[in-house]
Amino acid sequence: MDLLKQFLRYLQIERNASALTLKAYQEDVSHFLAWLAVEQGVEQNNIDIAAADSISMRNYIASLRHHGLQKNSIARHLTAIRSFYRFLCREEYADLNPAQAVASPKRDKLLPHFLYYEEVDALLNAPDESLGGRRDKAILEVLYGCGLRVSELTSLDCGSIEHDVGYVRVFGKGAKERIVPIGLEAINVVDRYLAMREELGINNDKQQPLFLNLRGGRLSDRSIRNFINKYTEQISLIKHISPHTLRHSFATHLLDNGADLRSVQELLGHVKLDTTQIYTHVTRSRMREVYDHTHPRA
């Protein structure tokens, strides 16, 4: 419907929302509008958008629960609808925000999956010395060494890494820029990859994508997920690993070794400290595991 298109345009232009956020909001609001059309017994183009009230919202939440959605997914739906109606009220398409008076279900705290040091080491050493192997090793080193999101990594250009001072210029969610330290090992691996590119006549200008696919274009998120799966099988690691697993491992290992939570928040680019605090639960569970396996009276 046209109002949904206007809302998405507003998110993109005025709120600088990422492509993933736009996709999620579009899916969640579309799902609600389809449900509302059925509730009102009309075609979706004829919905009375302003007629929805808090009772409608509670009925909608009940339908989501009935279809097996978890608390986190329901909370995400409510966030999208609340934002949609906030936009409608601002544009005077509605007088009230029906989702405003409805409390979101308390989200379950799902502990992030992470790798132990020896597992990270095995993964980082899995790629070979071909151009593709050097690229993959550089990607793994930067993901783990800098704690980047996969979307942040794929957007890096050759000039994003300041080799002399050991920093990476990253554009995170909402195109917010942050400067992240990068270790010497990761810099060396990236340099070796770029050196081989140069030998093969591949353009290494600062504005060129840092990580290329076989056709010479910017590498996609999906490609990175696929080759991580390949290396996971190669080292016989019985865990599901995604690029985000390396980000989780980055944060967990920093805290394990004494980093303060505030610094880890800055490194990860989290807006709220609450988001970073989930890793303290991971380190506590790791502490318990070590205790249970090592103390004679555990």
**Residue 298 has what pLDDT?**
57
The distance in angstroms from the start CA to the end CA of the chain is 60
| pLDDT tens digits, 165-203 | 899 999 877 777 889 999 899 999 999 999 999 999 999
| Residues assigned a catalytic role | 149, 173, 244, 247, 270, 279
* Residue of 126, 202, 117 whose CA lies nearest to 158: 202
Q: What is the mean pLDDT of residues 96-112?
A: 78
Q: What is the mean pLDDT of the chain?
A: 88
Beta-bridge mates of residue 171 = 177
* Residues forming CATH 1.10.443.10 domain(s) in the chain: 117-294
- Radius of gyration of the chain, Cα coordinates, nearest whole angstrom: 23
**Model confidence at 281, in pLDDT bands (50, 70, 90)?**
low
Q: Which of 163, 220, 228 lies closest to 192, judged by CA?
A: 163
Q: Which listed CATH number (1.10.150.130, 1.25.40.80, 2.60.40.1260, 3.60.20.10) goes with 2-90?
A: 1.10.150.130
Residues forming CATH 1.10.150.130 domain(s) in the chain: 2-90
**DSSP code at position 169:** E
Q: What is the pLDDT of residues 128-173, one digit of tens each?
A: 999 999 999 999 999 999 999 999 999 999 999 998 889 999 987 7
Structure tokens at 260: 């303060």
Check residue 139 and give its pLDDT: 96
> Does the pLDDT of residue 205 top 90, yes or no?
yes
The superfamily (CATH) of domain 117-294 is: Intergrase catalytic core (1.10.443.10)
Q: In the predicted model, is pLDDT for residue 284 greater than 80?
A: no
Q: In this structure, what are the phi and psi dihedrals at residue 209, rounded to the nearest 5 degrees?
A: -55, 140
Query: Among the listed ranges 106-120, 229-243, 282-296, which one has the minimum average pLDDT value?
Result: 282-296
pLDDT value, residue 286: 63
Q: What are the respective helix, strand and coil percentages of the chain, to the nearest 5?
A: 60, 5, 35
Q: Compute, in degrees rounded to 10, the torsion defined by CA atoms 149, 278, 58, 89.
A: -50
Express each pLDDT in 227-273 by its tens digit.
999 999 999 887 888 898 999 999 888 888 888 888 888 888 888 88
